[in-house]
Amino acid sequence: MTHEKAMVELGVLLVQRWITARLRRHTFFSLHELNRLIAQLLQGLNNRPFQKNKTETRRSQFDSLDRPAMKPLPAQPYEYAEWLKARVNIDYHVEVDQHYYSVPFQLAKIQLDVRLTGSVVEVLHKGQRVASHARSPLLYKHTTLPAHMPKSHQKHLEWTPQRLLNWGERIGPATCSIIRRLLEDKPHPEMGYRSCLGVFSLARRYGEDRLDAACARALTIGSPKRKTIQSILEAGLDRHAELFPAEATPLPTHENVRGPDYYH
């Protein structure tokens, strides 16, 4: 290893003397001009005879020794990839870089390997690829293949939309309304399962009464989302009904109030 390192360093020193040193007094006005002169000097260096063996050059040794041993480049260029672990949710999607990609629904709740490149997301189970998707830049959206879906969307494993609605109704009417919105706002109900379970998880920390009150506030402000509900609970706004009036207070009549007709 030390001998090989010394040979490499000698080659770098040779290039510095025969190429870099000759360029130090030149002024270049484009990268193309610089590369063209470097190519000329490199060709001269490779064709220059060795001091001890005048019949050999670096070019001739490359053609006789290195070139025959070289292998062709791969058909596809190398692409950097990251490997991740991801557990399949009950909606048969895995979360990768804040986007949801489908896998065969039979793999729900199983931890899978994910190979992530700049353009492709591959999901593997025990070394076998089970799903491949074009990588999406859209955050918190779904990429779903029809082949991954169960034949009947009315019953998926032990979960059904009606079971989630019943669960929400036991907590309160506002929670049930939120769950219904989360299921109806998706192309398929299963895509809303993850958000529904996220809402239910808040009851363990804040209690069912506070969760239903927070859901009511979220509906009042027109933002039936889990993040909104969590923010309301964290700030304790579910305990202050006066901050969320059911109806807007009408403006007083005054000569300085122009009214909507002014802008027609």
Instruction: Convert the pLDDT of each residue in 125-180 to its tens digit.
Output: 999 999 999 999 999 888 988 888 876 543 444 567 788 888 899 999 999 999 99
pLDDT confidence of residue 93: 92
Q: Residue 261: which pLDDT band, with cuts at 50, 70 and 90?
A: low
pLDDT confidence of residue 209: 93
Instruction: List b or e across 135-152, with b for residues whose CB sees 16 or more CB atoms inside 10 angstroms.
Output: bbeeeeebbbeeebbeee
- DSSP code of 187? S
Query: Rounded CA gap, 193 and 198, in Å?
Result: 9
- DSSP code of 254? -
Residue with tokens 């034949």: 151
Q: Which of 191, 103, 178 is nearest to 141 (CA)?
A: 191
Does the global pTM surpass 0.75?
no
Q: Which of 216, 211, 179, 215 is nearest to 196 (CA)?
A: 179
Each residue's pLDDT tens digit, 74-115: 888 888 999 999 999 888 899 999 999 999 989 999 999 999
